[in-house]
Amino acid sequence: MPEQLFFALEVILNGLMAGVLYALVALGFVLIYKASGIFNYSQGVMALFAAATLVGIMDGQVPFSHLINAIFGTNVHHFGWHIPALLGILLTMGVMVFLAWAVNRFVFKHLVNQEPIILFMATIGLAYFLEGLSDLMWGGQLKTLDVGLPQGMNATLDEVTFNLFGYGFFIDNLDIVASIVALILVVTLTLYSQYSKQGRALRAVADDHQAALSVGISLNFIWILVWSIAGFVALVAGIMWGAKSGVQFSLSLMALKALPVLMLGGFTSIPGAIVGGLIIGVGEKLFEFTLGGMMGGATENWFAYVLALIFLVFRPQGLFGEKIIERV
């Protein structure tokens, strides 16, 4: 096969991997939307907050140290410990569960039965609040995140494909890990929502709040649960992206990459987030590869939205979204 074709295949393969990373962010949106009908604008910032908290806990950073020092004239910055990644992840998960409780207790509990646009606006406010909270707690400086994930070119694939085709394929080890993690997440979440008691309750709440309440399902519990799971997904996404580029504000902008994935895959489907991510990942990479050069490059950001819009025209609910039929 000509080298150009191999390169196209390599682009497709890397597009699939990039798509998995987009899907990781999109998953968090889907979970919350499915359970509460809220489009959570703050999902990207939650990933930033989770990753910054993980680094802060692992490095023994004193939260709010800048504020504490300014008020009390002290000079405390670190507790002087460094804890293992796994324990750090567990503690961070605890913080995300607390955040889920706080968000419901102080924001959404007061907004039950409000219009979706009000709930959406509340998540915009939450995003900016979390942005500030993250800065205040852990500082705005770049933090390096090392939880032991492998990075760099997968030498085995490079070698094997070179021996077979005379062209070594490139795949980043981190992308392989991300794909495996995403696969486990999707399978677990799908099984959980289909077969567990809480999962069924979650679906019942998504279908009809009032009906779910009437059969004794605690709306409060379900919302805390789903925000906690979304917090976990945000943590996973934050780890994957943060390992790549360091933990910094830009992590929160990942949400921009998740939007076309949601438009394409549907807002209510967990597998849809993955399939949408893969289509967007491959589509934008192939477009950049084939036509990007003629257009001055950097086409990926806007082309992802064009692709999503094309799908929307033919399937407004997204590939896997639920079709809404309202009868007069």
Q: What are the residues binding another protein (CB under 8 A)?
A: 7, 10-11, 14-15, 17-18, 65-66, 69, 73, 75, 77, 131-132, 135, 139-142, 144-146, 151-153, 170, 172, 241, 244-246, 248-251, 253-254, 257, 285, 288-289, 292, 296-298, 300-301
Question: First and final CA of the chain: distance in angstroms?
Answer: 58
Residue with Cβ nearer another protein (158 or 322): 158
Residue with Cβ nearer another protein (76 or 191): 76
Q: How far is the CB of 188 from another protein (least distance, A)?
A: 26
Q: How far is the CB of 170 from another protein (least distance, A)?
A: 6
Q: What is the DSSP letter of 152?
A: S
Residue with Cβ nearer another protein (146 or 159): 146
Please, what sign has the CA dihedral across residues 121, 262, 246, 47?
positive
Nearest Cα to Cα of residue 240 among 257, 227, 223, 226: 257
Residue where the block lists tokens 């500082």: 139
Residue where the block lists tokens 């696969």: 183
Nearest Cα to Cα of residue 204 among 191, 218, 189: 218
Q: How far is the CB of 302 from another protein (least distance, A)?
A: 8
Q: How far is the CB of 126 from another protein (least distance, A)?
A: 17
Residue with Cβ nearer another protein (48 or 274): 48
Q: How far is the CB of 124 from another protein (least distance, A)?
A: 16
Q: State the number of CA atoms in the 13 A half-sphere of 82 facing the CB.
A: 4
Residue with Cβ nearer another protein (34 or 257): 257
Q: How far is the CB of 98 from another protein (least distance, A)?
A: 24
Q: How far is the CB of 278 from another protein (least distance, A)?
A: 14
Residue where the block lists tokens 């807002």: 267
Write the DSSP assignment of 164-201 as a string of letters: HHSSPPP-BHHHHHHHHHHHHHHHHHHHHHHHSHHHHH
Nearest Cα to Cα of residue 149 among 63, 89, 91, 189: 89
Residue with Cβ nearer another protein (196 or 301): 301
Residue where the block lists tokens 């950073």: 61
Residue where the block lists tokens 């999503």: 308
Residue with Cβ nearer another protein (86 or 153): 153
